Amino acid sequence: MKPQALPEPAGWRPPRNWGRIGWPALWALYRRELLRYLRIAPESLGGALISSLLFLAVFTLAWPDRLQLQPGVSALVFLAPGIAGYALFHNAFENAAFGLLYDKLEGMLGDILMAPLTPAEILCAYVAAAATGGLITGSAVLLVLALFMPLPLPALLPVLAFAVLGTLFFALLGFLTGMWAEKWDRYAVVDTFLVMPLGMLSGSFFTPAILPETARWIMQVNPVFYLIDGFRSGFTGVSEVSPLFGFALGLVLTIGLGALVWRLLRRGWRVQS
């Protein structure tokens, strides 16, 4: 016997159809994450600005006069993009990791996992907001540094391209850290033992030429070196390796990392019990 179809109750509406991408939800989550960044901006942005200026001051005072790290580039012009690049990338990492881990530890992540959002949309919203925050911080740092020193900008394209690529890479790394960590201590471990050494020893503040021949591989295997080098080439016009190669490498790594994080999020690794 064929079961009879029940009559639809009054006021019944079919489930909403979002289409391929749930734009309203994606936008809402992105906006929420960006508002979080803006809410804590006095500390994160203020701290980044102060530490960047301190680095500039301290290097200027500690350096012997007329030092050149790259041919034809004054030490300060070499240094400023390194400082800004480090601030940019590190802030993107912090934003993504902090946002996700805070939501997870406070038990709010369930609200986001329950909402009609696909894993790809959740990942995009968090990562895009973290990258936007990083770009805001980086731009602010560059502007403030430019107040204290002449900062040429011969090529805008590499600066923008590497800034966006680098912040996306670090935001993905931050998201992965947020997924993996179960407490704040774990986040501090990743920040202290992975992100800070990668960022600081990447050539933000020196060139591989300064290292002995046998130790240069340490920089050459560090993906951040290519990102910083390309980012800086927009300011100085000089680069250690071809910016195109650096960009391609960074793009491959970012896409690979993105795919990995997406797969983990889809499985609910360490975010769904």
Partner 1 sequence: MRLLQVTHGASGLVPLEMRRYVQAMIDSNPSAPPAATPPAPRQLGQINWLGLWTLYLKEVRRFLNVITQTVMAPVVTALLFLAIFTLALGRGSMVVHGLPYALFLAPGLITMTMLQNSFANTSSSVLISKVQGNIVDVLMPPLSTFEFTLAYAAAGVTRGLLVGLATGLAMLPFVPLGLNAPHAVLWYALNASLMLALLGLIGGIWAEKFDHIAAVTNFVVVPLSFLSGTFYSVERLPEEWSFVAHFNPFFYLIDGLRFGLVGVHDGNLIFGAILVGVVNLLLWALAYRLVASGYKLKP
Instruction: Work out whether 206 is an interface residue with partner 1 (CB under 8 A).
Output: yes
Q: How many angstroms separate the CA atoms of 218 and 240, rounded?
A: 15
Size of the site for partner 1 (CB under 8 A): 34
Are residues 86 and 170 in contact, defined by beta-carbon separation less than 8 angstroms?
no
For the segment 60-79, give every residue that binds partner 1 (CB under 8 A): 61-64, 67, 69, 79
Whichever of 18 and 205 has its CB closer to partner 1, that residue is 205
Whichever of 53 and 251 has its CB closer to partner 1, that residue is 53
Tokens encoding 119: 């894993």
Distance of closest approach, residue 132 Cβ to partner 1, in angstroms: 22
Q: How many angstroms separate the CA atoms of 109 and 92, rounded?
A: 20
In the block, tokens 């900008």 appear at: 153
Distance of closest approach, residue 122 Cβ to partner 1, in angstroms: 27
At position 61, the amino acid (one-letter code) is L
**Selected range binding partner 1 among 152-160, 161-169, 201-209, 234-242, rule: CB under 8 A:** 201-209
Are residues 241 and 231 in contact, defined by beta-carbon separation less than 8 angstroms?
no
End-to-end CA distance of the chain: give it in Å, rounded: 42
Please give the residue ranges that form the binding site for partner 1 (CB under 8 A).
42-43, 46-47, 50-51, 54, 57-59, 61-64, 67, 69, 79, 184-185, 188-189, 191-193, 196-197, 200-201, 204-206, 210-212
